Chains A and B, each alone.
Chain A
């Protein structure tokens, strides 16, 4: 998301705007001209999702659950309340259910009807999550979809696919990978990526340089 302003790749002045881009600009200009919305308010909303709200929040939740069994218990009992302990919550995240992976069980989340997604802990959803192939196939052939993500589950592991059809938002609590013994919370959070919290990947114990 931090690339938002770089997407023109420095060719801003040469690139021709698409019809839909012109339409979007026009609607914004229309509402601004009418005095109904302001450009600084648009910027403020974008900035919130660029800087404050994203999968780095969910990673902190997961890392805390890995190191603090009492927190994990609270997280599984009342997701939104436990997530609020770390200061996260708000739109698309006030009713949260956290689903834990464990031996023989792998959870994954989809929204077949639209794009429901836990904004406060994961930010806005990636394109593939909102795409027709993912929405169509995650419920009807999840093993095949996960293989496309490069995730081959052990033979004895069953998948539980959560289709977010109401106001509950789901966060997958991945298993802490072996090889992370003795890591502190910050190092653990660094290996918890968005895809693992959706359930299409699992965390891997790779130390990133500080």
Chain B
């Protein structure tokens, strides 16, 4: 989707601001949203498109204004609603209850705690091995021109550009379909190297290389 999340090369955001000290979480609610999001997946409480596809569908102004974990919270609510786990107004009702000093409930479920941690320690399976990749390291390729209205891992800034296959990374299901639960077979993924001038034109700086992991679907021979 050609949304504001596809930021590579955009102008106007200013310098990178580095906060020294605690840079991962700023407020106590942020790690709790992170954990809640994970637990919702572990318990199968969510439905609809995956979290990234949902966050990319946020109103662009809201996306840019929201903090990182605010986006996670927003997508958690949408996914919980999609499954019917919560109703759209239930969060507001609970906010009103908590506002009148009702103590938030606590609960213990050691089995869930263990399962949640085990899943993080385990992770997803690694990418598969590409048996018959169409391209080999050294091959010249061009990124297809495309304008998908859903989730994609092909950023705008490389579309139409020519690059060189650096390595075959393995196989994976095309996120453009997998994000929506649509059937798709694993396909090869390539690290493709692009010369800076082929992406951005001339620069006063010395040349550099940008490498992206691109699905075979995105590429054609050059």
Contacts and interface: CB of A to CB of B under 8 A. Distances in A.
13 contacts: A20-B70, A23-B73, A25-B104, A46-B35, A90-B123, A91-B124, A112-B155, A114-B52, A127-B23, A139-B199, A143-B206, A167-B189, A168-B213
A28 B32 CA distance: 8
Given A20-B73, A135-B8, A165-B155, A39 B17 contact: no
**Number of chain B interface residues as a range:** 35 or more
Given A48-B117, A132-B7, A7 B91 contact: no
Nearest to A24: B29
Interface residues of A, number: 88
B105 A32 contact: yes
Given A24-B69, A27-B73, A42-B39, 13 more contacts: A1-B25, A20-B67, A23-B95, A31-B45, A42-B35, A46-B32, A48-B120, A123-B24, A134-B16, A136-B7, A139-B9, A149-B16, A163-B211
Given A112-B7, A165-B153, A40 B107 contact: yes
Nearest to B1: A113
Contacts of A35: 107
Nearest to B125: A94
Interface string A79-103: 0100000000111111101000000
B130 interface: no
Interface in A7-50: 7-8, 18, 20-46, 48-49
Interface of A: 1-5, 7-8, 18, 20-46, 48-49, 53, 80, 89-95, 97, 112-115, 119-120, 123-128, 130-137, 139-145, 148-149, 155, 158-168
Kindly name the residue among A29, A37, A39, A135 whose own CB sees the greatest number of chain B CB atoms within 10 A.
Answer: A37
B22 A3 contact: yes
Contact of B209 (A91, A114, A140, A160): A160
Contact of B206 (A37, A123, A155, A168): A155
Nearest to B109: A38
A29 to B, nearest CB: 4
B100 interface: no
Contact of A158 (B104, B153, B207): B207
B205 to A, nearest CB: 5
B113 A113 contact: no
Nearest to A1: B24
Given A29-B105, A90-B122, A126-B23, A166 B169 contact: yes
Contacts of A149: 16, 18
A143 B196 CA distance: 12
Contacts of B121: 48, 89-91
A148 B15 CA distance: 8
A167 B21 CA distance: 29
A21 B52 CA distance: 22
Given A91-B123, A94-B124, A159 B31 contact: no
Contacts of A37: 36, 39-40, 43, 45, 107, 109, 112
Contacts of B28: 4-5, 7-8
Contacts of B104: 25, 28-29, 32
A161 B211 contact: yes
A136 B123 contact: no
B21 to A, nearest CB: 7
